[in-house]
Amino acid sequence: MKYLILLFVMALAAKNASAQNIPVLCYHQIYTGGNHKNDLLHISWEQLNNQLKTLADSGYHTILPDELLMYLTEKKTISPGSFIITFDDSHKEHFSIADSLLRRYGFRGVFFVMTVTIEKPGYMTAAQIKELAGHGHIVAAHTWDHPHLYTTGKMDWEKQLIHPRKVLEKITGKPVWYFAYPFGEWNDTIISYLKKNGYRAAFQLNGRRENTVYTIRRMMVDGRWSGTRLQQEMTRFNKGD
């Protein structure tokens, strides 16, 4: 009987996870000046500000991964307008620009950090990462050096999964429960190691939908989108498009 109950609970969690309709936004590099053009990997300070202001003015508000996980697995109620905002790859502008803009609009974000970059030119320092956590953001793991995972499934698990988590926990003084796959590439092997090593959930990009909290989908936000266009794309995401 206990086994049947366990199977039912697992099936219910899978069903809820497959119904993910909370937008999870993904940003990479933020720039100032004319060194880049807005695209899928780059967004100007002005454009990011415009997108966030539009969302705030329209009544959107951020939630954090713990809340998303309870929504997906326990059917906890999430209020309309909820979304998650994430930043990948540890760029220094995530602290110098994104943090201040998020706080301006009352948002909190998730920062997926590659630990190989800490203290290197162009990337965040340990002190900045600690300050992000102190501002109420979530600091999460993004491997040590961003390797490809999908084609081979081979990986130095200590180097890429376990050590980065320990480093970030030492810096922030807080547990690290969440992980983002480099390039959005994932497979059953890495999921098994994430579970084994205590990660609660993991985030991909716009890949295939799966009934698991270890393949939570994210929207790659195009830096060319206006705030209105971003809202439209988030609505499409809500509908499962």
Question: Regarding the domain delimited by 2-238, which CATH topology (the fold level of the hierarchy) does it fall under?
Answer: TIM Barrel (3.20.20)
Lowest mean pLDDT: which of 7-16, 23-32, 184-193, 216-225? 7-16
Lowest mean pLDDT: which of 3-12, 15-24, 106-115? 3-12
Residue-averaged pLDDT of the chain: 89
- Please report the beta strands in 20-177, taking only residues with DSSP state E, as ranges in sequence order: 24-27, 29-31, 42-44, 61-62, 82-88, 110-113, 138-141
Report the alpha-carbon distance of residue 109 to residue 98 in Å, rounded.
Answer: 9
Between the CA of residue 13 and those of 47, 129, 198, 212, what are the distances in Å? 37, 33, 18, 8
Neighbour-count burial of 2, counting CB atoms closer than 10 A to its CB (0-12 exposed, 13-18 middle, 19+ buried): exposed
Q: Give per-residue pLDDT as tens, 34-71.
A: 778 899 999 999 999 999 999 999 999 999 999 999 99
DSSP 184: G
Residue 14's nearest CA partner among 66, 78, 75, 67 is: 75
**How crowded is residue 87: how many other Cβ atoms within 10 Å of its Cβ?**
27
Task: Assign 3-state DSSP to the chain and report helix, strand, coil percentages, each to 5.
Answer: 45, 15, 40
Q: Give per-residue pLDDT as tens, 178-205.
A: 999 999 999 888 999 999 999 999 999 9
Report the alpha-carbon distance of residue 16 to residue 12 in Å, rounded.
Answer: 6
Question: 216 vs 36, which has greater pLDDT?
Answer: 216
Which structure tokens are listed for 234? 């988030």
- Residue 238 predicted with pLDDT over 90: no
DSSP 237: H
- Residue 129 predicted with pLDDT over 70: yes
Residue 70's nearest CA partner among 198, 230, 201 is: 201
Report the alpha-carbon distance of residue 42 to residue 47 in Å, rounded.
Answer: 10
Q: Which residues lie across from 140 on neighbouring strands?
A: 112
Confidence of residue 3 (pLDDT cuts 50, 70, 90): very low
Mean pLDDT of the region 229-235: 95
Residue 228's nearest CA partner among 47, 102, 54, 105 is: 54
Contact 25, 204 (CB under 8 A): no
- Residue 1 predicted with pLDDT over 60: no
Confidence of residue 98 (pLDDT cuts 50, 70, 90): very high
Report the alpha-carbon distance of residue 22 to residue 234 in Å, rounded.
Answer: 8
Three-state secondary structure call for residue 26: strand
- In Å, the largest CA–CA distance within the chain is 65
